[in-house]
Amino acid sequence: MAEGRTAEPTLEDLHGEQVILDVDGPFIYIGTLSGVGEKVLVLTEADVHFCSDSESTTEYYLLETKKNEVRPNRSVVYVMRGKVVSVSRLEDIKIY
């Protein structure tokens, strides 16, 4: 590794953190990252939100979730890694 560069972050670095999984489809997943497998990511105390069912935008829903905390509707959910487009920490959502 080149001098002054840090190791590339991994999903394991987010273990135990509340995260948002954006997937290829109309769902977002918000919960605590509890497992990182070869084919799945495991979230506990998760909110599985079907974006097409909501009158609000996904960004508004995420802002409200950050302000008011996660409202879990699943104890555990296994999300196929091949469907995940992005992963971010809930605390990294910016409120203006």
In tens, the pLDDT along 39-88 reads 999 999 999 999 887 777 888 889 999 999 999 999 999 999 999 999 99
Taking alpha carbons only, the member of 68, 66, 71 closest to residue 93 is: 66
Residue 64 near residue 57 (C-beta atoms within 8 A): no
Q: What is the pTM of this model?
A: 0.87
Distances in Å between the Cα of 30 and the Cα atoms of 5, 17, 38, 42, 78 are 31, 10, 20, 11, 12
Name the CATH code of domain 16-90 (choices 3.30.1360.120, 3.40.50.720, 2.30.30.100, 3.30.870.10). Answer: 2.30.30.100
pLDDT given for residue 4 in this prediction: 56
